Amino acid sequence: MNTKNLFSVIILVVSTAGCGSGDSPEKPGGIDLQELGCNSNQANYIEDENQFFDDSYICDCDYQFADRLGSWDYPGRQGLWDYPVKPGTEEWKNLQSNEEKVSACQIPEDILLTLSTEDLTDLCLRYPLLSDFLAFDNLNIGLDKLFNDFNGIRELYSREDAVIYFIRRYFEKIQCFSCFGGEFPANKGMFIISVYSLEGLLSRINNIKYVKIALKALVDGYEKQYNYYQVFNSSNFEKNFFAREHVISKMCEKFNTQSYFQLTQETMDYINELSYQLIK
């Protein structure tokens, strides 16, 4: 694990380098889906898309960005079990190794199995080590470590309805992009890290029923990120393309993901074109 990379990610997302026009991304078409073995019909949209995309959701910008440390501050239901040791506390500082931190953050088994999927989703989004996978040069290796380390994420992905709540939380996050205005203070950087964390988690969805709607959500997220080009372009939208690449692989049997995702303009154009065709 390259521990310097996470700080690089944070620095990148709070910078305004790489400004662009901010125009909507192009929506091309023309890839032979049959040749790729794509079957977008196997994952039809759910009849009531409002369970995922609630247009009435209003982002509280003051709440999202005031004194928030990051994904481990994701709001949970009052009275929900919480991590006994958190970053920023003396107890956390006294933990000497990654292994000790991982051990301190496990959810007790007697509580884990009684949690609703929604509550477990929120606990996983507050996992103090969640965004560590972003520090890996190879995001797949980082995600593998997350799954190996944390009992909460393993239990969550064993549940068929987990992706519903991931998509809802992702939609809420991208709706809050409207809060970006004027100067871009550093405390918004950790909010963006939480968006990238959700995109990484969506790359691992394992329920074929929801892959198409997950892809639609990620395309929506990409378009909204593109609208704030000066904020997101410094990371080149890498996490979003990574997630879409892996979701597409579940819809197209002959589409091979790269073991080490390298983002080029050609790759971006191809994934964009394929994404728009698949969500038609």
H-type helices in the chain, by residue range? Answer: 3-14, 61-65, 90-93, 98-104, 109-112, 117-125, 139-149, 151-157, 162-175, 189-202, 211-227, 229-232, 238-251, 265-278
Q: Are 28 and 276 in contact (CB under 8 A)?
A: yes
Question: Can you tell me the distance from the alpha carbon of 135 to that of 2, in angstroms, rounded to the nearest whole number?
Answer: 6
Kindly tell me if the per-residue pLDDT of 67 is higher than 50.
no
> Which pLDDT score is estimated for 112?
96
DSSP 180: -
Residue with tokens 């996490």: 239
> DSSP code of 159?
S
pLDDT at 251: 87
pLDDT digits (tens, 9 = 90+) for 2-50: 544 443 443 334 333 333 444 556 555 567 766 666 765 544 444 455 5
Q: What is the pLDDT of residues 75-109, one digit of tens each?
A: 556 678 999 999 889 999 999 999 999 999 999 99
Measured distance CA(180)–CA(216) in Å, rounded: 23
- Give the residue extent of every domain in the chain: 3-7+28-278
Cβ atoms of 30 and 276 within 8 Å: the answer is no
- Which residue in 101, 152, 155, 162 sits closest to 123, CA to CA? 152
The string of pLDDT tens digits covering residues 136-167 is 989 999 999 999 999 999 999 999 999 889 99
The rounded percent of the chain whose pLDDT value lies above 70 is: 67
DSSP string for 52-121: T--TT----HHHHHSS--SGGG----TT----SS-TTSHHHHT--SHHHHHHHTPPPHHHHTTS-HHHHH
Task: Measure the CA–CA gap between 213 and 250, rounded to whole angstroms.
Answer: 12
pLDDT of residue 209: 83
Residue 148's pLDDT is what? 98
Highest mean predicted confidence (pLDDT) among 77-81, 108-112, 202-206? 108-112
Name the pLDDT band for 252 (thresholds 50, 70, 90).
confident
| DSSP designation for 233 | G
